[in-house]
Structure 1
């Protein structure tokens, strides 16, 4: 291992969730490497060791399950790194599939900054970090206040930073959703909806998150008669947030 800070590899293609992890870990004294695909992650592991791997399951190209298979087939790639599956799709069947020696812990999206930090500290045996002082949430936005309390440890400044990055990312999400619908690319639309449901819930928009979840299901079934109006409704809500 390097003598420098612990290296954490995040395999996640959603820019908003990449930002969330970056916010959570910025005060923990780690080096965060973020890559969008399993192939890129495996290439990085072949280049240099890491101490912790955080991976989503639903990724472009190969899935997180295929990453686990690849690490099981070639243990030297993982080395002594702990593997955490960080996903919004941890239903009972998925959890059962992930009962494997390569998987150290499961972490469900959305989670709080504190829970993510605690997971990383446990994995790397880090001491507790200095927490930011909580700041008051706007009293006229109950869902926002709840999101700040639940996911950002009461810190409105961190929430606002995350929200700003999400609003920028929504521009690209709108383009991607339109492209997926025009191309009848059900997998791409499902992957986008899967990411948006976690992001929207973390931002304090449970209604929009529920719509994204429904879109994920309909696009998984390639039910375009249902998915098309769902996307248009979700699109309007994303535009309104921007």
Structure 2
């Protein structure tokens, strides 16, 4: 059996049938595993507390607490411990329901030796090290990142390695994939974990305010600056600054950001001198920065400063095997928030979620689960609730930056319709200079000729999706 280190993987087997315990112990030891056994759920919990395994293999039917109840107990204290349930044909529905709550998998008795071997190897690749300290540390630094997929396991291992250095990291991924969660995890796994983590979305703040927010200002620097403002670089001193959607940062601010990174010092707006700062920079974007470089919308020198290491988050559709675990995690969070007794989700409802399209990724999945929990009147989320939530408008899945992009584009379309494509008039109404107005038009792939009465060009739809440019 392939393992990630030279220490034999530790597997705990739980079954009240002595014959099954002997058979599984022989097979697992022949594959190079260290095996512990228990006949009841209560005995298994005691063994886990004393000698934590890397994988739990349990029968569904046990005296006292059954295998599903054992899993519920384990996930409260060791959410990263993979659990495989063993079941006879008559208890398959119980095992399927348990999988909807985050169980790694189930095997049907009698076992096919190859299927057992493959399932155990898959689970061990996702398991944290079995010792107490390492497992606890893993739970702390990863916090709300829930996964069972190989792609996420590999990404988090890379993130853990990168976190040990002070290298700048560019996190790529579509909106809603969890870029800020990954940035926070990197911070918690770094030597700066006890210092501040400060985050800002560069696309959500107007250009005039973003400079002051990042670098601070002195009193009287501009109208309304009635007191000194430290800015986020100084707020993050000693810790980590996360700039989300850095691809939306205006070019003039890119120049100033580059200077701060090169000099490791920040000059507040209106100040005459710079102040040293010690900040680790993490950035994120859903934009194609290489395309932005080619079009002159992003500085090449800044790009190479921030892109020392790239981590790319997969879309939810690329990690569908994580959906059951994510749903179970969200149900626990939301049920507590609403003070509702919701224990899980029906298998057919889980199947609908697993097969749905997720353009809004994890953020959209959370919104769907939250709607289901809010409307649930029983302890189990049902298929009709899921179907209703999936038919909700996709707008619910838009990030703030995407919603802002969509509004901005529709606003420009309406202005140009009103002025028949006269840029001077449209810029004056928008209180923007013509250069900036043309930049906005290029950003949204709009041309004035589309809106002139003598043009045959097609006028863009008002609800066209926001440009990712």
TM-score bucket (shorter structure): 0.3 to 0.5
> TM-score, normalized by length of structure 1?
0.46
Structure with the larger helix share:
1
Rg (Cα) greater in structure: 2
**Bigger RCO of structures 1 and 2 (CA < 8 A, at least 6 apart):** 1
> TM-score, normalized by length of structure 2?
0.27
